[in-house]
Homo-oligomer: A and B are copies of this chain.
């Protein structure tokens, strides 16, 4: 399948909608409408249908997250700056909704698709954070880097999903409050 401009528009629209509303809640007609074509025309670009489309754009998105997170982290040396860079990068992206992806979207897919995406999600989101925590924290926290990476990610997703509902601070300000707590509490 060629990667034409038209196909790219389809993929970007699909990624945006799937990310915002989840796999089940987005129909092929929704995507086609936003692209400005009829839903049947999607099958020219994505012959294997909805599930294949979701897997493709989710893998793309996760790969971008892996790159973005790793680069943001590599640009700094102390833990606080690294976590801030990771947080700012995450908050500048459309909300990924890792938890919903794992709990609601994955079970709707074939076992094979779900398995591939789970591995990609772990490599893209959890592992970069685990690594930075392992090298930046006192050694006695090494057993907890999995938990702490998950907690960091959960907190960022929380910020993403409640902008003005629960606080009048900006997202980076909220992230800083939590990172300060994180770093101080684990020293």
Contacts and interface: CB of A to CB of B under 8 A. Distances in A.
A87 interface: no
Give the one of A107, A143, A158 with max B CB within 10 A. Answer: A158
A9 B158 CA distance: 33
Contact of A150 (B22, B100, B158): B158
A149 B166 CA distance: 9
B182 A99 contact: no
Contacts of A165: 122
A161 interface: yes
A177 B144 contact: yes
Given A22-B22, A100-B104, A104-B22, A147 B177 contact: yes
A145 to B, nearest CB: 9
Contact of A155 (B20, B151, B185): B151
A100 B102 contact: no
Contact of A147 (B104, B108, B169): B169
B24 A99 contact: no
Contacts of A148: 177-178, 181
Interface string A167-187: 101000010011011111110
A155 to B, nearest CB: 5
15 contacts: A21-B103, A22-B104, A102-B162, A122-B166, A126-B166, A143-B169, A144-B167, A144-B169, A144-B177, A147-B169, A148-B177, A150-B166, A180-B185, A181-B182, A183-B185
